[in-house]
Amino acid sequence: MTPASPLRRTLLQSFVLVAAVAAGIHPAAAAPTSGQVTDFFRAVTMDDARTVQSLLGAVDPNMPNPVGGEPALVLAVREGAMQVLDVLLRYPGTKVDATALNGNTALMMAAFKGNKAAAEALVAKGAAVNRPGWTPLHYAAASGDVDIARMLLAHGARVDAQSPPASGKYTPLMMAAREGHQDSAEFLLAQGADPLLKNGEGLTAARIAEQAQHGAIAAAIDKRVTSRR
C-alpha cells in the first residue's frame, strides 16, 4: 500500500478534528494561564457572554473558581448572569450538575435565588432534581419560592427529602417553617409533605416553627396534623 502523501495526511487530520469538535469532543488543550482563568470567571460574574464564549475550550467551565470555589454555571446563576448561563448551557463540555466546593449545584442556587427562568433552563438540560442530602427543593422552600417548588415537584422532586444527618435531617417543610415562609409550608403540606417527620433533634416542622417564633406557621402545621387524625 502506497503511504499517504503529506497533503492527504493533513487533510485527513483536519477532517477528523472538525468531526470531533462537531460531536462535542475536544482535543486535549494546554492548561489555561492564570490570566485566562481570572478573565473567564470575571466575565462570568459580569455577564460578559462574548468573553466567556471566547475562553471556553481554553478554560474548563467545570473547574472551581479559585475565588469562592464555584464552577461557572453555579457562579452565573448566583450573579444572575443569564446571557452567560445561556452560553454555558449550549457548550457541550458544561456539566449541568457540576458542584461548588460547598456542594451547591446551579439548580440549587437557582432555587435559592428564586430564578425560575434559570431553574427551568437547567431542568430542561437534565439538571438533577433529586440528589443525596440537600436538594433544590430544600433551597426553594428556604427561600419561600412556591413557583419553583411547584416546578421541581412536577419534575419528580421528593417532597420529604432529608438533608444529611450532619446538617440536621431537615425536610423542605422544615426549612420553610424555620425561615418563616407560610405560603411555602402550606403548599408543601398540600403536596403531601409529612408534618410528623422529625429532624435530628427530634423536632417536627411545627416545633421548629415555634422555636423560630413563627407561631402562625406552627398553628397551620398542627391544624394539618389534627385534620389527618
Tens of each residue's pLDDT in the chain, 229 residues: 344 455 444 443 443 333 334 434 444 457 999 999 999 999 999 999 999 999 999 999 999 999 999 999 999 999 999 999 999 999 999 999 999 999 999 999 999 999 999 999 999 999 999 999 999 999 999 999 999 999 999 999 999 999 999 999 999 999 999 999 999 999 999 999 999 999 999 999 999 999 999 999 999 999 988 877 6
Q: What is the pLDDT of residue 28?
A: 45
Closest Cα partner for 25 from 34, 36, 17, 14? 17
Which domains, from first to last, does the chain contain? 34-128 (1.25.40.20), 131-229 (1.25.40.20)
If one counts every other C-beta atom within 10 angstroms of the C-beta of residue 144, the result is 19
Are the CB atoms for 113 and 140 separated by under 8 Å?
no
pLDDT for res 12:
39
DSSP 198: -
Q: What is the pLDDT of residue 226?
A: 84
User: What is the reported pLDDT for 10?
Assistant: 43
C-alpha separations of 136 from 45, 150, 151, 160 in Å? 22, 12, 11, 12
46-52 long-range contacts, CB within 8 A, separation 24+: 46/81, 47/76, 47/79, 47/80, 47/81, 47/82, 47/83, 47/84, 48/84, 49/83, 49/84, 49/86, 49/87, 52/84, 52/87, 52/88
3-state secondary structure of 59: strand
Q: Find out whether 81 and 44 touch, Cβ atoms under 8 Å.
A: yes
State the Cα–Cα distance between residues 88 and 118, nearest whole angstrom: 12
Would you mind telling me the total number of residues written for the chain in this entry? 229
pLDDT at 29: 55
pLDDT at 64: 97
Q: What is the pLDDT of residue 24?
A: 43
pLDDT for the residue numbered 199: 97
Give the per-residue SS3 of 152-192. HHHCCCCCCCCCCHHHCCCCHHHHHHHHCCHHHHHHHHHCC
Question: Which pLDDT value is given to residue 55?
Answer: 98
